[in-house]
C-alpha cells in the first residue's frame, strides 16, 4: 500500500444516548461508503455479539475502515470507532475517544438530550474532539428537530444550526453526514518518522494470532518486525502483522503510520499485557513519554458466581478464563461458601458488565449459575492500623477489630421530566443520596445532581428509576471516592442457620428495612417443608426481623383415573425436578432463584 496521505484520513466515533440510533447510523455509513452492499449487511454490523444485538447496546468497542468518495472527487479513509454505550465502560469510552479526532453526536429528534448524551459529549470535549451534531429519527411523527437543535446549542453550547437532519433507519440525508465528516472532522496529525507512539484502545484474543491490539498511531510507524513494548505493563513483543479493519475481518497491510487506525499482532498470549490506554512504542527507539490518560481499570462491583451443579466447577473456571482472555476488566478468584460450595468471587466494572458476563456464561458456555448479591469494595480500617479491601461480606473481621469502614461514592446525574422530579428525589433520598443541585435543561426537563453511595445504586436503582419515571429518567454516574460510613453486616438465618451467601453489607440506617424485606421475599421463595422454618435477619447477632414459612400440611395427588399412571408419574417427577434446583442448607431446601430474587427489593412499583 502506498504511503497514506494524512489529509485524506478521518478518525471519528459516534456518541449518543442509548437507543438514539448510534449503531444504525454506523451501519448506514458503512453501507453508503460501499464497503458492503446492503444485502451483505447483517443489520448492525458493528454490534457483533449476539447479546449486543439483543440488548441494542455496544459492549466492546468496534472499529471499521471504509473508503468514501467525496463530492470533490477525492477518496477519504474513514475509521469509525464505535464506542461502548454504557456508563460501566466509561474508561473504554474515554480511550476510544482518545483514538479519534472528532465525534458525531447523534441526538434523537423526539427525545432530545439525555443524561448519557451529556456525559458522552463532555467526555468528547474533554478529549478536544470536534463534535459534529446530527439529528436522527426525523421520520418519527413526534420529531421536533428545531427544538432539539436549540437544545443542543443551549445546553451543550455547540453550533448545531447546520446539523444534518437524518433518518438513519431510512437512510434519508445520510449523504450529508458523510460530506460533513470530510469537512468538519479534522485530519489527523503526527510525524511518521518520529519514535513510535501508539494508543491501545482495545484488544481481542484470537486463538491463532494471539492478542490483536487495536491502536491509533499517534507518532511514528510500525510494521512487521518492529520490536515493541507496552509502556505501562512492560510487556514486549515483535510485531508479526499489521493491518486495518474490514467489516468483521482483519485486512493485513504493510505498515501503520502516524494518523492511522489499525491493529497489530505479535504472538502475545494474554490481554492482560495489552491494557486499554497503554502506549505501544518501539523498544529500540522509544518515545520520550507515554500518552496521557492511562489507568488500570478497577472492578467496582463484586459478586459470587457458583455453578448450580457443583460438578460444573471446573467448567465455570474454564469459561471464566476464556472470557478473561478478551476482557481484562473481568476479575475472579476462587472462593468457598458453606451454602453454595465452590465458586468464584468475581469483579466487574458495573452491574451491566456483571449481567453480561453472567448471561454469556449461561448461554455460550451452557452453565447454570447461582449469583450472590452484588456488592462494592468496602474499605475496612482495623484498629491495628491495617486496611483491607472487602469484596466478600463473609470476610468482614469481627466488629471489635474494626476502627471504621468506608464505602465508595459516585456523583450521579439524572435527567428527568419535571413531573417526576419529586418521586426521583424521594428515591435518591431513600438511597442515602446527597443532593448537589438541579439544573433546568428547558421548561419540562431537569438535570438532578446527587452524590450517592455506589452500593445503593448497584442493586435495582436503575429499575427503580425507570419505574418511578415511567421510563423517562436517564442516568449516568462517575466514581467519586471513598467516604466513612456507618456500615453493618446483615446476616440471614434460615431455620436458625446463618446462610453465608445471603449476607451483605448495608448502611446501619437501612438495615432494619432491608432485613425485613429480605425476610418477606425469602418467605415467598422458600417452599413449605414438613416443618416450620423461621427466616431471620440479624445484625451482630441481634435479630431485627423475622418471617415464618409455615409447615406443609397437605400435599396430595389428584385421583388417578383408569390406571393412567404416566400422568401421576409426571407430577411426581416435576416435584422431584424442582428439588434438584434447590440448595440444601441444614435441612432446608432453598431454591436457587431465592439467592438472586432478594436483590430486587424496591417495592414502589
Partner 1 sequence: MKKTLGVYIHIPFCARKCAYCDFLSVPAKPDIQKAYVEQLTEEIRQSGEILGGYEIKTVFFGGGTPSILKADWLVGILESLRTEAAFSEETEITVEANPGTVDKEKLLCYREAGINRLSFGLQSADNNELYSLGRIHTWEQFLESYECARKAGFQNMNVDLMSALPGQTAAGWRKTLEKVLVLQPEHLSAYSLIIEEGTPFYEKYGGHPNLLPSEEEERQMYHDTKEILKEQGYERYEISNYAKQGYVCRHNLGYWNRTDYKGFGLGAASLLNNVRTANQTKFWEYLKGNREGSAERLSKQAIREEHFFLGLRKTEGVAPGEYREHYQELITRLKEQGLLKEEDAKVRLTDFGIDVSNYVLAQFLD
2 lines the binding site for partner 1 (CB under 8 A): no
For the purposes of burial, counting CB atoms within 10 Å of the CB of 149, is it exposed (0-12), middle (13-18) or buried (19 or more)? buried
Among 207, 234, 311, 553, binds partner 1 (CB under 8 A): 553
Residues 162-181 contacting partner 1, CB under 8 A: none
566 lines the binding site for partner 1 (CB under 8 A): yes
Among 575, 584, 593, 604, binds partner 1 (CB under 8 A): 575
Query: How far is Cα 593 from Cα 578, in angstroms, rounded to an integer?
Result: 12
Provide the grid cell at 13: 466515533
Query: How far is Cα 136 from Cα 145, in angstroms, rounded to an integer?
Result: 8
Q: What is the dihedral of CA 478, 480, 484, 488, to 10 degrees?
A: 20
Minimum separation from the CB atom of position 580 to partner 1 (A) = 11
Query: How far is Cα 598 from Cα 536, in angstroms, rounded to an integer?
Result: 14
Q: Which stretch binds partner 1 (CB under 8 A): 16-24, 263-271, 369-377, 565-573?
A: 565-573
The terminus-to-terminus CA distance of the chain in angstroms comes to 60
Nearer to partner 1, 193 or 555 (CB): 555
Mask of contacts with partner 1, 578-597, x by CB under 8 A? -x------------------
Closest CA to 49 of 369, 371, 368, 364: 364
DSSP per-residue letters across 20-47:
SSHHHHHHHHHHHTTSS-TTTPPSSSS-
Query: How far is Cα 584 from Cα 518, in angstroms, rounded to an integer?
Result: 19
Nearer to partner 1, 564 or 603 (CB): 564
Provide the grid cell at 104: 458525531
570 lines the binding site for partner 1 (CB under 8 A): no
Among 161, 397, 572, 593, binds partner 1 (CB under 8 A): 572
Minimum separation from the CB atom of position 475 to partner 1 (A) = 36
E-strand ranges in 35-136 read 62-69, 75-82, 102-108, 130-136
Minimum separation from the CB atom of position 522 to partner 1 (A) = 21
Residues 525-544 contacting partner 1, CB under 8 A: 530
Minimum separation from the CB atom of position 230 to partner 1 (A) = 56
Nearer to partner 1, 543 or 572 (CB): 572
Minimum separation from the CB atom of position 571 to partner 1 (A) = 7
Minimum separation from the CB atom of position 575 to partner 1 (A) = 4
Question: How many residues form the binding site for partner 1 (CB under 8 A)?
Answer: 24
Tell me how far CA of residue 503 lies from CA of 279, 295, 395, 599, in angstroms.
Answer: 42, 32, 10, 12
Mask of contacts with partner 1, 490-529, x by CB under 8 A? ----------------------------------------
Interface residues with partner 1 (CB under 8 A) are: 530, 552-566, 568-569, 571-573, 575-576, 579
Amino acid at each position: 500500500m502506498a504511503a497514506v496521505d494524512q489529509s485524506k484520513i478521518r478518525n471519528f466515533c459516534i456518541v449518543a444516548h442509548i437507543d438514539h440510533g448510534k449503531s444504525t447510523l454506523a451501519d448506514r455509513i458503512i453501507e453508503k461508503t460501499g464497503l458492503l452492499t446492503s444485502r451483505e449487511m447483517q443489520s448492525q454490523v458493528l454490534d457483533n455479539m449476539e447479546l449486543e444485538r439483543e440488548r441494542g447496546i455496544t459492549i466492546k468497542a468496534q472499529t471499521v475502515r471504509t473508503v468514501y468518495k467525496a463530492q470533490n472527487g477525492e477518496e477519504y479513509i474513514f475509521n469509525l470507532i464505535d464506542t461502548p454505550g454504557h456508563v460501566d465502560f466509561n474508561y473504554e469510552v474515554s480511550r476510544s475517544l482518545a483514538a479519534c479526532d472528532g465525534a458525531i453526536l447523534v441526538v434523537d429528534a423526539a427525545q432530545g438530550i439525555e443524561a448519557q448524551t451529556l456525559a458522552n459529549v463532555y467526555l468528547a470535549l474533554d478529549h478536544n474532539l470536534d463534535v459534529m451534531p446530527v439529528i436522527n429519527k426525523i421520520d418519527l411523527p413526534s420529531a421536533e428537530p428545531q427544538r432539539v437543535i436549540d437544545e443542543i446549542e443551549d445546553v451543550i453550547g455547540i453550533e448545531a444550526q447546520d446539523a444534518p437532519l437524518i433518518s438513519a433507519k431510512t437512510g434519508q440525508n445520510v449523504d450529508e453526514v458523510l460530506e460533513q465528516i470530510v469537512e468538519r472532522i479534522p485530519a489527523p496529525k503526527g510525524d511518521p518518522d518520529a519514535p513510535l507512539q501508539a494508543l491501545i484502545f482495545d484488544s481481542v484474543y484470537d486463538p491463532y494470532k494471539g492478542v490483536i491490539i487495536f491502536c491509533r498511531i499517534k507518532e511514528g510507524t510500525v510494521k512487521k518486525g518492529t520490536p515493541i513494548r507496552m509502556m505501562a505493563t512492560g510487556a514486549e513483543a515483535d510485531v508479526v502483522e499489521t493491518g486495518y479493519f474490514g467489516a468483521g475481518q482483519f485486512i493485513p497491510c504493510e505498515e501503520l503510520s502516524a494518523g492511522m487506525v489499525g491493529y497489530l499482532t505479535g504472538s502475545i498470549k494474554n490481554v492482560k499485557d495489552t491494557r486499554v490506554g497503554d502506549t505501544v512504542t518501539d523498544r529500540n527507539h522509544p518515545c520520550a513519554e507515554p500518552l496521557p490518560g492511562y489507568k488500570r481499570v478497577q472492578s467496582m462491583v463484586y459478586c459470587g458466581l457458583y455453578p448450580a451443579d457443583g460438578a460444573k466447577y471446573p467448567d465455570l473456571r474454564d469459561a471464566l478464563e476464556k472470557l478473561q482472555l478478551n476482557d481484562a476488566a473481568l476479575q475472579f478468584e476462587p472462593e468457598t461458601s458453606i451454602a453454595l460450595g465452590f465458586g468464584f468471587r468475581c469483579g466487574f466494572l458495573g452491574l451491566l458488565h456483571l449481567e453480561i458476563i453472567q448471561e454469556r456464561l449461561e448461554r455460550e458456555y451452557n452453565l447454570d449459575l447461582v449469583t450472590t448479591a452484588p456488592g462494592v469494595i468496602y474499605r475496612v480500617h482495623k484498629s491495628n492500623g491495617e486496611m483491607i479491601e472487602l469484596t466478600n461480606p463473609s470476610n468482614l473481621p469481627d466488629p471489635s477489630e474494626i476502627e471504621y469502614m468506608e464505602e465508595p461514592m459516585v456523583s450521579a446525574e439524572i435527567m428527568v421530566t419535571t413531573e417526576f422530579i419529586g418521586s426521583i428525589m424521594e428515591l435518591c433520598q431513600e438511597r442515602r443520596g446527597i443532593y448537589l443541585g438541579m439544573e433546568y435543561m428547558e421548561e419540562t426537563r431537569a438535570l438532578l445532581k446527587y452524590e450517592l453511595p455506589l452500593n445503593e445504586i448497584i442493586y435495582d436503582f436503575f429499575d427503580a428509576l425507570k419505574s418511578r419515571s415511567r421510563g423517562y429518567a436517564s442516568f449516568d454516574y462517575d466514581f467519586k471516592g471513598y467516604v466513612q460510613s456507618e456500615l453493618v453486616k446483615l446476616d440471614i438465618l434460615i431455620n436458625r442457620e446463618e446462610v453465608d451467601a445471603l449476607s451483605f453489607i448495608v448502611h446501619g440506617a437501612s438495615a432494619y428495612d432491608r432485613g425485613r424485606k429480605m425476610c418477606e421475599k425469602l418467605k415467598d421463595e422458600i417452599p413449605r417443608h414438613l416443618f416450620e422454618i423461621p427466616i431471620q435477619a440479624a445484625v451482630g447477632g441481634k435479630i431485627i426481623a423475622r418471617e415464618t414459612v409455615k409447615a406443609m400440611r397437605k400435599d396430595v395427588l389428584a385421583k388417578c383415573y383408569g390406571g393412567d399412571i404416566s400422568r401421576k408419574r409426571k407430577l411426581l417427577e416435576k416435584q422431584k425436578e424442582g428439588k434438584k434446583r434447590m440448595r440444601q442448607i441444614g435441612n432446608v431446601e432453598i431454591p436457587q432463584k431465592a439467592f438472586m430474587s432478594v436483590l430486587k427489593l424496591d417495592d414502589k412499583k
